[in-house]
Amino acid sequence: MHVSNVTLETVCGITSTLPENDKLEIAFAGKSNVGKSSLINALMNRKSVARTSSQPGKTQTINFYNIDEKLYFVDLPGYGYAKVSLEIRAKWGKLIEKYLINSKKLRIIFLLVDIRHEPSQNDVDMYNWILEYGFNPIIIATKLDKIKRSQIQKNVSIIRKKLKAIENTPIIPFSSLTKQGRDDIWEFIEDYMEYEASIEEAEVTDDEEKNAY
């Protein structure tokens, strides 16, 4: 998908009121140093719209990016950074929980893990937490360019096993450097956009038929 216009439309902190958006929302979750901002920038075909930082744990807000007035990318606070206090981590957790419970337009959650390493307990906890709220996250294995091609399938299998991922859950290897995997991620997003559009069209047709009687 070609992205023409991107706007950081809403930034929500711990005490903020979440927006009631009228467009599809795609959320991104992951550890503080997993490359979440780099992925979002790559999908938007931008260099620095999503804020990257050399200091993990810096993002403390939920950021809503309006993509061509068609959908929102929702950047969730990173987790698992040891230097962030337990109190702050608990508040971030509450903020994410509030979003997962209250968003009426959230349809897809991408969970990012580092392809070089076995998922951490924080990754496992986040995966299970997302499942508890009724979503089956798509896994993105970042930093693909950091390993050899021969290691990819083995590492993907380790990720699947450690997370105890639901059968047929997609795991997409991705590199922000080479952009490998970007088209695969967009394919999932575009398929869901088409699905949502077909449902809305069917609802409009149904309403028109009812009004005809």
pLDDT tens, 13-41? 888 899 999 999 999 999 988 999 999 99
Q: What is the pLDDT of residue 208?
A: 60
CA distance 190 to 93: 29
pLDDT, one tens digit per residue, over 108-140 is 999 999 999 999 999 999 999 999 999 999 999
Write out pLDDT tens, residues 61-106: 899 999 999 999 999 988 876 566 677 667 778 889 999 999 999 9
Contact 196, 107 (CB under 8 A): yes
Mean pLDDT, rounded, for 174-201? 93
H helical segments located in 138-181: 152-163
